[in-house]
């Protein structure tokens, strides 16, 4: 894993400035040339209200951005443009199957760095919220300073992290101290049935993405929520008041609310893990 990641970063460092092909439709897709000779499609949803920020979103392994319409709709409603690359491990990608599983993480890091540069160019001055689902949660945590042992590229434009159903503990990659360097505010949304065969047997394993960060963190555990809870309209509606408060507080600079505080985690243990009401 380290070798593939290092090669990916080396290619990125040697690449010329990314080429943004053609005018951006609103909403639509922009294509970015990558240093490993791919064309990276990036989906962009613009809010119908005044833009207040940007959600830099990374989808789950084998998934694709438009599978998350319930989440996108609410982020747009908060005034956030949603910018989401189609990673090469997606079953909707034109290069799906050509990227070995062990190379997926390195490819995603390249994708997120290039997409972040596009966000900086297109949405200059707006605060950035890093959002991810499953494997994409790991991408978001890296943007915030996670996995320091891999020399992963952090992003000082990111204000906070919103994570849905993490990939859990990954041997050789995600250990107990993987996120101890994440100083940004973090919110994790998971469920008591959030398991991934072969990867997450215990739903509590997801909490490492919130419990072990250095910055303020929050966790919502939804009764009956499984690994695809972010695609469930009812669950997204259920958790959104707390998520919206998190965004308002830690991205837009508004005062913390009692509703948000009930989901706050006390360090170093999980003293208060709120269930969605």
Cβ–Cβ < 8 Å for 158, 128: yes
Strands 158-164 and 128-133: what pairing? parallel
pLDDT digits (tens, 9 = 90+) for 210-225: 999 999 999 999 999 9
Which residues, other chains included, contact 237 with Cβ-Cβ below 8 Å and sequence gap of 6+? none
pLDDT digits (tens, 9 = 90+) for 12-28: 333 333 344 333 335 68
**Does 11 have pLDDT greater than 80?**
no
**Does 233 have pLDDT greater than 60?**
yes
Predicted local distance difference test score (pLDDT) of residue 92: 83
- What single-letter DSSP state applies at residue 40? E
CATH number where 102 lies = 3.40.50.1820
Mean pLDDT, to the nearest integer, of 2-11? 38
CA distance 101 to 116: 23
Read off φ and ψ for residue 127, nearest 5 degrees: -65, 150
pLDDT digits (tens, 9 = 90+) for 149-181: 777 778 999 999 999 999 998 888 888 889 999
Query: Which pLDDT band holds residue 87 (cuts at 50, 70, 90)?
Result: very high
User: Which ranges of the chain would DSSP assign to H, the alpha helix?
Assistant: 2-14, 69-77, 104-122, 135-143, 208-211, 233-250, 258-261
Domain extent for 28: 2-275
Domain count of the chain? Answer: 1
């Amino acid at each position: 894993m380290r070798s593939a990641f290092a090669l990916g970063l080396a290619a990125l460092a040697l690449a010329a400035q990314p080429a943004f092909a053609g005018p951006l439709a609103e909403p639509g897709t922009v294509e970015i040339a990558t240093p490993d000779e791919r064309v990276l499609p990036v989906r962009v949803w613009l809010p119908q209200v005044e833009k207040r920020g940007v959600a830099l979103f990374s989808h789950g392994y084998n998934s694709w951005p438009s599978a998350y319409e319930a989440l996108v709709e609410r982020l747009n409603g908060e005034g956030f443009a949603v910018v989401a690359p189609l990673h090469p491990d997606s079953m909707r990608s034109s290069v799906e199957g050509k990227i070995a599983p062990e190379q997926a993480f390195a490819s995603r890091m390249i994708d997120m760095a290039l997409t972040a540069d596009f966000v900086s160019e297109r949405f200059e001055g707006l605060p950035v919220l890093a959002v991810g689902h499953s494997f994409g949660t790991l991408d978001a945590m890296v943007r915030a300073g996670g996995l320091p042992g891999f020399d992963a590229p952090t992003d000082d434009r990111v204000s906070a992290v919103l994570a849905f159903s993490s990939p859990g503990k990954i041997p050789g990659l995600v250990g107990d101290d993987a996120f101890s360097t994440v100083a940004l505010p973090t919110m994790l949304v998971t469920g008591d049935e959030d398991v991934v065969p072969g990867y997450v047997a215990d739903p509590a394993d997801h909490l490492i993405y919130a419990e072990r960060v250095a910055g303020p963190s929050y966790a919502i555990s939804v009764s009956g929520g499984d690994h695809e809870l972010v695609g469930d309209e009812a669950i997204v509606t259920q958790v959104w008041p707390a998520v919206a408060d998190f965004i308002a507080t830690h991205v837009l600079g508004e005062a913390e609310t009692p509703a948000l505080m009930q989901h706050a985690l006390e360090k170093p243990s999980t003293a208060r893990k709120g269930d969605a009401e």
